[in-house]
Amino acid sequence: MAQFTPDDFMTVAAARALRDGVTLFVGIGLPSTAANLARRTHAPNMVLIYESGCIGSKPTTLPLSIGDGELAVTSDSVVSVPEIFNYWLQPGRIEVGFLGAAQIDRFANINTTVIGSDYDKPKVRLPGAGGAPEIAALCGEVIVIVRQNERTFRERVDFVTSVGYGDGPGSREKLGLPGKGPVKVITDLGVLEPDPDTCELTMTQLHQGVDAEQAKAATGWDLKVADDLATTDPPSDEELAALRDLLDTQKAAA
């Protein structure tokens, strides 16, 4: 079997979580890499939607931004940004949203705005929200891909850019958010899912070679671990070959 890194494991695990044939609103970066890997392997009929207005994109190289021309020239259709949000996203026509995060907390709220408690003078000002708040609120369900460490996995995020489960049960309903919210958070250590009663993220799966203590040490709260903790199968040679080809194509195009 070929050698792989924790990032490879995370990307492959995230790709596996995507079903063939779904409409998927994709964020740039890790989500886009995993989504395009899924499309090249087990989900060729998945419809990738980017917030620049590209529907059914089939990029031959990984896009550098939502404005990358590769997304437009390989898409089935290009519409305006207002149409993507007002006609496709807001009425619930997009099944899955796929997001990254700079910070995520125990209730799956996402921060991509600022690091630090002072919004006007933060330690770090991040790229910002883009379409993520609407994706998190309005897609049928949300999947998050993010590296797991204490800096990223916080008891409470410094700023709530995109609502997961707010303060816990009932928060999404009070805010009038129609989407189900995050159903999986996939990391370089394993997979977390919201507890059906408390909405708190719980470790339900560890990647092969990772133990529960590692996951707890990489989390900024008292991480709960499922009693029936599963183990992720390692990436196959075929999955790794497809991922390497995808990444090599990106390097060649840069």
Instruction: For 92-153, give the DSSP string.
Output: T---EEEE--SEEETT--EE-SEESS-SSS-SEE-S--TTHHHHHHHSSEEEEE---STTTE
What is the tens place of the pLDDT at every residue in 134-181? 999 999 999 999 999 999 999 999 999 999 999 999 999 999 999 999
Between β-strands 190-194 and 182-186, what pairing exists: parallel, antiparallel or unpaired?
antiparallel
Q: How confident is the model at residue 251 (pLDDT cuts 50, 70, 90)?
A: low
What is the tens place of the pLDDT at every residue in 214-242? 999 999 999 999 999 999 999 999 999 99
**β partners of residue 25:** 49, 97
Q: In angstroms, what CA-CA distances link 112 with 116, 216, 225? A: 12, 23, 26
Mean pLDDT, to the nearest integer, of 71-89?
Answer: 96
Residue 1: pLDDT over 60? no
What is the tens place of the pLDDT at every residue in 12-21? 999 999 999 9
**β partners of residue 23:** 47
Domains and their CATH numbers in the chain? 6-253 (3.40.1080.10)
What's the Rg (C-alpha) of the chain? 18
Q: Write out the catalytic residue numbers.
A: 51
